[in-house]
A and B are shown apart, each in its own frame.
Chain A
Amino acid sequence: MSLNNIIKKKYNKRGRLASSNQVADEALGTTYNNETLGQFYLPSKDYLYQQSEQHTLLESGWIIDSTEKKSNNHGIDELTQLNTMTCKAPNGDYDESNFVDKNNPAIKYHHGTTTLGFKFKGGVIIAVDSRASMGSYIGSGTVKKIIEINPYLLGTMAGGAADCQFWERNLAMQCRLYELRNGERISVAAASKIICNWMYQYKNRFSVGSMIAGYDKEGPQLFYVDSGAMRLNSNYCFSVGSGSTYAYGVLDAGWKWDLTDDEAIKLGRKSIYHATHRDAYSGGYVNVYHIKQDGWVNISHDDCFQLYQQYYPKKSKAINDINDERKEDGDEDDDGDKTMSSK
C-alpha cells in the first residue's frame, strides 16, 4: 500500500493545497474522533461477507485494503447492525508486511513460545506460556498451548499453531479409533509414533515442536516430536521454543526425581515464569498441568506479571514506588536504579 495511492494533491475550493487532514479525510472517508476509533475493533461487513476485493486480514479483525477504496458509507448495516466502515490503521504501521521475515516474505513465523515438560516420581508436569507472536507483534496473549488429546494424553504446541492444532486433533481421532478397534488405551509411544510418521511424510514442511505426554501401562511417558520427524523419549525433561533455554536453566537446577507433587508444580511454574521474564516472545499466562495415573489435571492459570509480584515482591513494588514518587514530585532525582537495587 504505497503512500502515493493515499495522498494526492488536492486543491480545495479556494485554489489552495488542501491540508493533510483534509486529504486523509477524503482518502479514508472517516474522521478520527473518539467514536470512530472505537470502531477499529469491530469486524466490518467485508469481513463477514466475502467480497470480490482483496483484503489482508489481521488476527484481531482489522482489515487493510490492498486496493484503494473510498467508503463514504457511515451508516449501519441493516442486516448485521454493525458499522460498515472499513477500518484502517492511520499510518500503516500495523500492516502485515512489517511482521514477516525480511528475506522471505512468504514465511510468517509465529514461533515465540516456551513450553516444557518433565518427569518425576509423581508423573509428568507440563507447563506452557500463552503468547502468540508474529515477529515483533503480539498476536494474542491468551493462546491455549496445551491440547487435550484425551483424558490421559496431552500435547503441547510450539511452532506453527495451525500445524500443531490440526495434527494433534488428528491424533486424537486416531487414538480414539485405536481404542475402539483394540479395546484398550493407546500407549504414548504408539501415539507419538503415529504423529511422527505423519511428520515424516511431510518432512520439514511444517513447523511443529510438540511434546506428547501421558500415562500408560509403562508409567508416565514424555516424548518430543518434531516436524523434522525427530522423536525422542526421555526420563528427564524437554523444553521447546524461543524461551526454552531460560526455562532449562531453572529446571535443570531444581529438578530431582524425588520431588513432591507440590514442589514439581512450583518448579514448572517458576521455570516458565523465568522464561517469560527474559524472553520477549513468551508471556501471558502460565498454564500448568499434571499427568497422574488416572489422567491429567489442570492445575493453574496464572498471569506472569502476578507471578513476578509473588516471587519478587520488593522488586515489583519498586516499580510502583517510582511511579508514586513521580506523582508526588519527590525531592530526589530518582532515575529508578536506586530504588530497584535497594532491598
Chain B
Amino acid sequence: MSQLGFGNSFGFIGKDYALVASDCSVPRSIVTMKSYDDKIQKVSSRTLFALTGDVGDRKNFAEFITRNLKWYQFRNGRSLDNEGIANMTRNTLAQSLRRNPYLTFVIQAGFDLDTNEPSLYWFDYFGSMARPNATAQGLCSYFLLSLFDRHWKKGMDLNDGLELVKLCIDQLQKRYVIKTSAFIIKIVDKDGVRQIDLTKNISLDRKDVDPDAKKTVTGIPEAMKDSQNQPK
C-alpha cells in the first residue's frame, strides 16, 4: 500500500472561497481496489477535510473529528470555528502519535462566517500543522508547490481558481508517473460546501462502464463558465 505513495490532494484559498481537490483511487499493491472514492469529507458546516493515507485510519479519523465537533456543539451551544477545528485536529494527531497513531495526511479547507475569510490548514501525521495559502499532500506536492508559487495570487476569484486547478491536474496527468483516473474538487464558501465538476472524468475509455464514476464525478462540460453548480 505505501509503496505507491499515499493519495494526492491539494488545495488553496481564493477571494471568498477555499478549494480542495483529491484523487479518487484506492490502490493496494499493484491493484486499484476502487477507482472513484471520495476522500474529501465534510467535517462541519463550513469545513472540509481532504484526507489521504491509510484507508482505515483516515476514515476513522474523519469520523472521530466530526463526532467530536458535534459533541462540542452540544456541550457548548456553539460550533467551533476553523482555527479551533484545526488546533483540535492537531492535538488529536499529536496525542495519539505515541499510542495509536493515525497515518493520515490532512488538508483542511474552511470558511468562517464571522470574519468572511477562507482558511487552509495542512497537517502531517506527526501532528505538525501549518497555515499556508496553497499547498499539496502526497507525491504530487513535488510538482504542484512550484506551480502554486508561480501562479497563485491573493484574491483570486472562482474562475481563476478553477483554471489553476486545471493547470495542476494537467501537470499531474503529464508528469506524475501514476495515471490518476479523476479528481474530486470541493469548494467551501459562504453558501456552504459543494462539489465542482470540472471536466468530464478523464479516465480510460471504460468511463461509461465503471458505475462508481457516475455517482461521484459526473461530467459537466465547461463548468468554468457554468454558474449552475450543484448544491451541497
Residue ranges of A at the interface with B (Cβ–Cβ < 8 Å): 119, 196, 199-200, 203, 224, 226, 228-232, 234-236, 238-239, 244-245, 248, 252, 255-257
Contacts and interface: CB of A to CB of B under 8 A. Distances in A.
B16 interface: no
B160 interface: no
7 contacts: A199-B56, A203-B100, A229-B57, A229-B59, A231-B56, A232-B55, A248-B31
Given A232-B33, A248-B31, A256 B56 contact: no
Contact of A230 (B30, B56, B212): B56
Interface of B: 1, 26, 30-31, 33-34, 37, 54-57, 59-60, 100, 206, 209-212, 214-215
B163 to A, nearest CB: 32
Contacts of B59: 229, 231
Contacts of B30: 245
A239 B209 CA distance: 17
B210 A236 contact: yes
A234 B212 contact: yes
A236 B209 CA distance: 9
Nearest to B29: A245
A244 B212 CA distance: 20
Given A234-B34, A252-B206, 8 more contacts: A224-B33, A231-B56, A232-B26, A232-B37, A235-B211, A235-B212, A245-B30, A257-B209
Contacts, number: 52
B103 to A, nearest CB: 10
Contacts of A256: 209
A230 B53 CA distance: 11
Contacts of A200: 56, 60
A229 B56 contact: yes
Given A232-B33, A235-B215, A245-B31, A226 B209 contact: no
A108 B215 CA distance: 41
Nearest to B34: A232
B88 to A, nearest CB: 21
A230 to B, nearest CB: 4
A236 B55 contact: no
Contacts of B33: 224, 230, 232, 238
A224 B28 CA distance: 12
A222 to B, nearest CB: 11
**Which are the 4 A-B pairs with shortest beta-carbon distances?**
A229-B56, A235-B211, A230-B55, A232-B34
B56 A228 contact: yes
